[in-house]
Amino acid sequence: MGAIITLSLLGILILYLGLYKAKNALLPVSILGLLGALAYELYYWQSDAVPMYKGMVLFDHFALAFSMLCIVLTILILLLSKEYFKSISENIAEYYTLIIFSLTGALMVCAYHNFAMLFIGLEIMSVALYILVGIRRKDKASNEASLKYFLMGAFSTGFLLFGITLLYGATGTFDLAVLKEYIIANPTEVSPLFYGGILLLLVGLCFKVGVAPFHFWTPDVYDGAPILITTFMSTVVKIASFAGFLKLFSMVLIPLNEFWTPVLLTIVIITLFVGNITALMQTSFKRMMAYSSISHAGYMLFAILSIGANSASGILTYAIAYGLSSIVAFGSLMLVKRHIGSDQFESFNGLGKTNPGLAFAITVAMLSLAGIPLTAGFIGKFMMFTTVMNDYHTVLLLLAAINAAIGIYYYFRVIVHMYFMKGEGEEPVQLSINFKLVFGLAVLLTIIIGIYPDIIVSLI
């Protein structure tokens, strides 16, 4: 709870800093505040997890681990933002505030114990994003992305709310613990309202995490949004939504898994194929990353499909690997786009010769996204595949292996462009110290987790 309060106050403080034109203080103060919030989360790690504030929030190890991941990723993203926002507009303080508020919502989604908190958390997270997506007001693509995201987001929230209402109609409560007791007390005669509620909740949550067939907004929004915001959306927001998703299903709905497993299985298979095959056909790096984020959401759903003791740590490992690599990928795209002015694969040509360090970082990120051993991505994929294997979903496993192979193809295309194609210019891309720090940290963590996965796996 301390972290949520800290972040709320931090947002307001930054608004005031913007008012008094303290532009140089914005980034340091934001980072310090985020570190403070991180310290709060670490502090709560030892204490006993009991639902607080009349059962509204629960800070167990699951919630704390995902919250910390979100905060760390936000710090990395903000470090990349230093030059970026200035080139877009004057109102930098407001953007920092909105990102921090969005993070506050994400923490609430990680820690909710009552549907009221889930709903408000998701809304805070999304409302801030609707605006951030559209901050390039002169750019038509950015405007379109913002409007599309807003309409789709509002629509999916409607489904989610209706689902919550039906669950309330069946049980008379919003509290996860009471809902769980209800299912355990009536395992055979659960009200039909409850089943309808589960389906609608599933639709709403699938919209939020962007899996097929509810993925139509994802490519356009990710493509149209400013790169930094795309990074934030595809990492922090997606991970928090998954945490909320997993919490609901593992805590409450698991006794009814015979009902929802077939539905989710279909969604997973469609998602894997749609995400990977369309990613294969892209010529723009940014769009490729958008589609590949759909397929990664499909892999993460594996943990929800066959919920077990390892689900939470599996999804956490996958999310860390995916988040770190995405930040490197989008960060390098930001640099390359500023240098060459295009986000096609061709702009990466010859990067291996002019910027060996940057090319190495991108290579590690791509290998991690593809799931090659000795990177964190491999451990994440390995854990996901093991959870599914324990449930004997052999067909799914086979399809997933095919998709992983397709994934390797398009991730390697980036590497091929960097090392084996000749670039036009000779002068190297300029990296500021912040970028070097973030890339170095992300690559280091990716490799460390790839070699010693135990530090993360044993966490939850």
Partner 1 sequence: MTIFYFVAFLSIFFALMTIFTKNPVHSVLYLVITFATFTVHYILLNAQFLAAVNFIVYMGAIMVLFLFVLMLLNLNKESEPMKSNLVKIMGVIAGMCLIVTFLGAFRLLESNNAMVQGHENIGLVKNLGKVLFSDFLLPFEISSILLLTAMVGAVLLAKKETRVKQHG
Residues 6+ apart with CB under 8 A from 234: 222, 289, 290, 293, 326, 330
Residue-wise DSSP of 218-269? HHHHHHHS-HHHHHHIIIIIHHHHHHHHHHHIIIIIGGGHHHHHHHHHHHHH
Answer for which of 31, 35, 199, 270 binds partner 1 (CB under 8 A) is 199
List, in sequence order, every residue forming a beta bridge with 344; answer none if it has no partner: 284
d(CA 420, CA 359): 12
Contact between 49 and partner 1 by CB under 8 A: the answer reads: no
Contact between 244 and partner 1 by CB under 8 A: the answer reads: no
The distance of closest approach from Cβ of residue 197 to partner 1 in the complex, given in angstroms and rounded to an integer, is: 8
Answer for which of 6, 10, 11, 33 binds partner 1 (CB under 8 A) is 11
The distance of closest approach from Cβ of residue 124 to partner 1 in the complex, given in angstroms and rounded to an integer, is: 5
Contact between 131 and partner 1 by CB under 8 A: the answer reads: yes
The distance of closest approach from Cβ of residue 200 to partner 1 in the complex, given in angstroms and rounded to an integer, is: 9
Nearer to partner 1, 134 or 204 (CB): 134
Answer for which of 21, 46, 54, 427 binds partner 1 (CB under 8 A) is 54
**Contact (CB, 8 A) for 97 and 33:** no
431: left (phi over 0), alpha (psi -120 to 50) or beta: beta
Q: Mark residues 169-188: x for contact with partner 1 by CB under 8 A, - for none.
A: ---x----------------
Contact between 165 and partner 1 by CB under 8 A: the answer reads: no
**Contact (CB, 8 A) for 156 and 208:** yes
Footprint (CB under 8 A) of partner 1, residues 88-127:
89-91, 94, 97-98, 101-102, 104-105, 108, 114, 116-117, 120, 123-124, 127
The residue type at 284? S
In degrees, rounded to 5, the angle at the alpha carbon of residue 305 between the alpha carbons of residues 301 and 311 is 75
The distance of closest approach from Cβ of residue 46 to partner 1 in the complex, given in angstroms and rounded to an integer, is: 23
Nearer to partner 1, 122 or 369 (CB): 122
| Beta-carbon-side half-sphere exposure of residue 198 (alpha carbons within 13 Å) | 22
Contact between 192 and partner 1 by CB under 8 A: the answer reads: yes
Q: At what angle do helices 217-224 and 140-171 cross, to 10 degrees?
A: 140
Footprint of partner 1 (CB under 8 A): 4, 8, 11-12, 15, 53-54, 56-57, 89-91, 94, 97-98, 101-102, 104-105, 108, 114, 116-117, 120, 123-124, 127-128, 130-131, 134-135, 137, 166, 172, 191-193, 195-197, 199
